[in-house]
Structure 1
Amino acid sequence: MVNQKKILEINELETSFFSDDGKIAAVDHVNFDLHEGEILAIVGESGCGKSVTSLSIMGLVPSPPGKITNGEILLQGKDISKFSEKEMRKIRGNDIAMIFQEPMTSLNPLFTIGNQISEAILIHNKSWSKKQVRERAVEMLRLVGLPRAEELLNEYPHQLSGGMRQRVMIAMALVCNPKVLIADEPTTALDVTIQAQILKLIRELNDKFNTAVLMITHDLGVVAETCQRVIVMYAGQVVEEATVQEIFKNPKHPYTKGLIQSVPDMRYKKESLYSIPGNVPKPGSVKVGCRFAQRCEFATDRCLTENPALYELSSSHKSRCFLVEEEGGSVNGKESLVESK
């Protein structure tokens, strides 16, 4: 992706929620880039900040109590984190679109599929005639592999299967040819056969339109099958970033290693499946030290008193762990003072 143009840049993004206990950062100074035509995954357990990151990009963080409190979200060089709601409405669906986790709660049960796709078109193409809108809606339904597209326009969400509803959501998201598509757990609650079809469809549409895709998931199988690069998040921070090959062949952060060990392997018989001990800490509960230290088998006294930086092993691989520093990792291009072993 070195030669590809950056379409989305996230710089020091902090999204906080305010309560009686004060400010709590759910996304804590996150940095990453998304390139044209790339499929980038953000993985991690529930509560690690994946969905809040995607909602921040879309300008959909509920306010109050949530608010972007620091950083930039650059879409083709423009900082959309400073845009007003009126300006964001012009961006959503047109330049950047999102597929939400559960299509049954995202589609309005009171309106037909045709009504909802037409609305997505007309928001950004007010001069289009009814015939143009209908033709575009039928074209998109066919593009995502739905049969009898013209009949589906007159049906309601409850008349469709889960896989069909998810395809409708993808059609709605792509109807205005956005430059960036955010897929937030797009295969949740779908059976494995439909999941494979949806992932294949996303890859095909990515190839056809060169749309950059940000895939939010907790499923490493989805990552291996679909994505080129991976960002691993834990407790609101990026703890590892690498290509898919590097993540699976040479993971560096203990949390990433734990996630990979937790994936069932049909080649070997095991009495019990590995699981990372403990739970993701509540946002804001870890005031000092590494946020993974309480669950990490390699933790030292230093991990409990000092927060590790995001060390660079190479131009494509970073890890937030002191073990990487001992291997000669660097911070911001500066070599570690610790000699490489």
Structure 2
Amino acid sequence: MSRKQILEVKDLETSFFTDDGRIAAVDHISFSVEEGEILAIVGESGCGKSVTSLSIMGLVPSPPGKITNGEILLDGKNLATLTEKEMRQIRGRDVAMIFQEPMTSLNPLFTIGNQMTEAIRIHNKKWTKKQIKERAIEMLRLVGLPRAEELIKEYPHQLSGGMRQRVMIAMALVCDPKVLIADEPTTALDVTIQAQILKLMKDLNTRLQTAVLLITHDLGVVAETCERVVVMYAGQIVEQAPVQEIFENPQHPYTKGLIQSVPDMRYKKDALYSIPGNVPKPGSIQEGCRFAPRCEYAFERCSAENPALYSKSDVHTARCFLLDLEHEAVLHAEMGGQVDDERIAES
């Protein structure tokens, strides 16, 4: 049964204007999220994940940042064209975000109750103070926090890291948004609390049918939580597929490297695998495939052209010339010609 598409990002480009010129931190990316779906965006630090989320929220610092191309469609409304005043009516009500570090995201000068009720007051102007307070307490209970009536009177520093993260989730969900963006929501938490937070997000997603955009570099989290995966590298999408397909049949060498880098407790190894090199710095990207300098499969074409997104199937695409060669081989075989084994071997 098909679900309603809630969020669609089309050909999005977000640039930063610096003394060295314009730098595209997000370079013409496209993806969509459906109602009740959890979509992951994965990749190393510096690949454009967080800038993508800030673009959707209309929170790219300007100057120097600006959306320079594309559309961000939320139920058909293009958020990229809205003014800041119009975006304030959208943020919190229709699309909300859980930020990476709750201690820096929560204001230390205000109580949890003050910060919980702010969004409710903005988007529900006809509600009484009693209704607003009851809603805040209800959401704190929903995310599994005890003694919610006392908790709203306390300050962020009086709470543990796990409790602060739950407060952030409660704040994001307090107005029942259609889309929830979770930017590395478990980075600063210990393993036990991480598991609790992820289970909570999954339960709330199932119960409320909220579309979730999970930004992470942890493939273990992706495997347990998400339905589809978008892999980003140097500002571009390099692979996109259902989660099972990504893990069982990855097509891009970068995706393969990320999966190989995950520790496997079943096997004893002298050293963990790591992808050689680093993500290129913004503004230093050379012509050709952006991953080519780190890729063990790179051949001459990779340094001359930037590959398009090739289709492995209706639901699986990857930005790699290896798929183009594979398509050529199939086409040759179907036409009764000789498969160009030499070119494929070269790759």
Same fold (TM over 0.5): yes
Counterpart amino acid of 1:265?
D
Paired with 2:339 and 2:63, the residues of 1 have a C-alpha distance of 48
Q: Which residue of 2 aligns with 1:105?
A: 104
Is the partner of 1:26 in helix, strand or coil?
strand
Shift of 1:284: 2.8
Name the SS of the counterpart of 1:123 in structure 2.
helix
- Taking structure 2 as the reference length, the TM-score comes to 0.94
Counterparts of 1:339 and 1:48, CA distance in 2: 36
Deviation at 1:290, TM superposition (A): 0.2
CA distance, structure 2, for counterparts of residue 281 and residue 339 of structure 1:
35
The yes-or-no answer on 1:322 pairing with 2:315 is no
1:173 and 1:25 map into 2 onto residues whose CA distance is 29
Tell me the amino acid that sits aligned with residue 143 of structure 1. Answer: L
Structure 1 residues 94 and 254, CA, compared in 2 at 3 Å: closer, same or farther? same
Question: Which amino acid is 1:68 matched to?
Answer: I
Q: For the residues of structure 2 that align with 1:140 and 1:339, how far apart are their CA atoms?
A: 61
DSSP 3-state at the match of 1:42: strand
Who is 1:290 aligned against?
289
Query: Whole-Å Cα distance in 1 between the matches of residues 171 and 339 of structure 2?
Result: 53
Aligned partner of 1:61 in structure 2 is: 60
- 8 Å contact 1:328–1:339 — kept in the other structure? no
1:326–1:339 contact (8 Å) kept in structure 2: no
Partners of 1:327 and 1:339 within 8 A in 2: no
Q: Structure 2: how far apart are the matches of 1:57 and 1:125? A: 23
Structure 2: gaps spanning 5 or more residues: 329-333, 342-347
Q: 2:331 corresponds to which residue?
A: none
Q: Shift in Å at residue 340 of structure 1? A: 9.4
Within a 5 Å distance, the mapping from 1:156-305 to structure 2 comes to: 156-305=155-304
For 1:23, give the aligned amino acid.
R
The CA distance in 1 between the partners of 2:282 and 2:142, in whole Å, is 41
Contact preservation (8 Å) 1:311, 1:318 = yes
Code of the aligned partner of 1:19: T
Instruction: Quote the Cα distance in structure 2 between the aligned partners of 1:124 and 1:168.
Output: 19
| Greater Rg over alpha carbons, structure | 2
Q: CA deviation at 1:287?
A: 3.4
CA distance in structure 2 between the partners assigned to 1:284 and 1:233 by the alignment:
17
Are the equivalent residues in 2 in contact too, given 1:328–1:340 (CA < 8 A)?
Answer: no
- Counterpart of 1:156, as a letter, is Y
Pairs within 5 Å for 1:67-146 = 67-146=66-145
| Paired AA for residue 206 in structure 1 | N
SS for the counterpart of 2:103 is: helix
- CA deviation after TM superposition for structure 1 residue 285, in Å: 1.5
Could you tell me which residue of structure 1 aligns to residue 311 of structure 2?
Answer: 312
Alpha carbons 1:11, 1:73 under 8 Å: kept: yes
Runs (4+) of structure 1 exceeding 6 A deviation are: 338-341
- What does the per-residue CA deviation read over 1:98-137, in whole Å, with 9 as the maximum and x for residues that have no partner? 0000000000000000000011210101121111011001
Cα distance in 2 for residues equivalent to 1:29 and 1:135: 43
Alignment RMSD, CA only?
Answer: 1.7
Paired positions, count:
335
Match of 1:44 in 2: 43
What code does the residue aligned with 2:183 have? D
CA shift in 2, pair 1:137/1:340, >3 Å: farther
The answer to which structure has the higher helix fraction is 2
SS in 1 for 2:123: coil
Q: Unpaired runs of 5+ in structure 1?
A: 330-334
Mapped partners of 1:292, 1:44: distance in 2: 12
The one-letter amino acid of 2:109's match is: L
